[in-house]
Amino acid sequence: MASRSAVRLRTTTPDDNAFIVEMARHACIIEDWPLPAPDDDEVLEILPPPGVPPIIAENERRPPVGAVWTHHSNPPLRCDAAGAPLPELCIGVAPGWRGGGVGGLLLDALFADLSTGVDGIGTNVHV
């Protein structure tokens, strides 16, 4: 397990597409269940939509170790008071990097990015 001080954040590039799919696979499983296929409907539904660049966490050697973004489910998980769908959180951290603060670092960065234009966010958490 690595510390969050060994991690830096950046936005995605086209070279990150396969990693984003991998993090979506990890984000949509229940612990100890097998990972779904990259083309599974549940994985495809939570991929970031065009114009929503994920935030990537990478270690000092530059391989990505986690990612966070928002997406909209159809039907929406939650709506605001006016009935507009709330964006939903999607976060994934590579198994060897969990428990060291990478997820918290990613969430802090996402919430800072969303703070000026989003009043709420939905989460769908597997226990």
Number of domains into which the chain is organized: 1
**Structural tokens at position 122:** 């939905």
Q: Which helix (H) or strand (E) holds 112?
A: helix 102-114
Can you name the residues that pair with 89 across neighbouring β-strands? 70
Q: What is the pTM (predicted TM-score) of this model?
A: 0.89
Which CATH number is 99's domain given? 3.40.630.30
Is 81 part of a structural domain of the chain? yes
Is 70 part of a structural domain of the chain? yes
pLDDT at 3: 52
pLDDT at 5: 58
pLDDT at 126: 62
Edge-first strand order for the sheet with 88-93 is 7-11, 55-59, 64-71, 88-93
- What is the span of the domain harbouring residue 60? 4-114
**Structural tokens at position 18:** 């396969």
- Whole-angstrom distance, CA of residue 127 vs CA of residue 51: 30
Is 57 part of a structural domain of the chain? yes
Q: pLDDT tens, position by position, for the chain (127 residues)?
A: 455 558 999 999 999 999 999 999 999 888 788 999 999 999 999 999 988 899 999 988 878 999 999 998 888 888 888 888 999 999 999 988 989 999 999 999 999 998 887 778 888 776 5
